[in-house]
């Protein structure tokens, strides 16, 4: 297993990943940024999620729910697909 990256490297990587332009579009797509930094995309996404937990942007329950559902947000009950009653 490779040695852990220094905290400053992680912090700066997350900062770069979060930068957006005037239109709200990411300046550095996560996949490309991860390749440029020679880390995996999942590693960078994990660092971003960890920072969200640390700063309170996301709660543990939100993180757990998203990770167990493959990062899909929950579907509100009113928008859930309706099944047809049996004839």
In the chain, pLDDT over 70 holds for what percent of residues?
64
Copy the structure tokens of residue 30: 């996560």
Q: Measured between alpha carbons, how far is 11 from 22 in angstroms, rounded to an integer?
A: 22
Q: Which class does domain 7-69 fall in?
A: mainly alpha
pTM, 2 dp: 0.62
Domain positions in the chain: 7-69
Q: How many residues are present in the chain?
A: 87
| pLDDT exceeds cutoff 60 at 11 | yes
**In which region does residue 24 sit, left (phi positive, over 0), alpha (psi from -120 to 50) or beta (all else)?**
left
Mean pLDDT of 64-84: 55
Q: To 10 degrees, what angle do helices 30-37 and 7-18 make?
A: 150
The 10s digit of each residue's pLDDT in 33-70 is 999 999 999 999 999 998 888 887 776 665 555 555 55
């Amino acid at each position: 297993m490779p040695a852990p990256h220094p905290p400053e490297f992680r912090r700066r990587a997350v900062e770069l990943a979060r930068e957006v332009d005037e239109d709200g579009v990411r300046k550095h797509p996560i996949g490309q940024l991860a390749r440029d930094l020679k880390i995996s995309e999942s590693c960078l996404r994990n660092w971003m999620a960890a920072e969200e937990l640390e700063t309170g942007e996301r709660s543990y329950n939100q993180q757990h729910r998203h990770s167990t559902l493959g990062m899909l947000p929950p579907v509100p009950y009113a928008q859930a697909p309706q099944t047809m009653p049996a004839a």
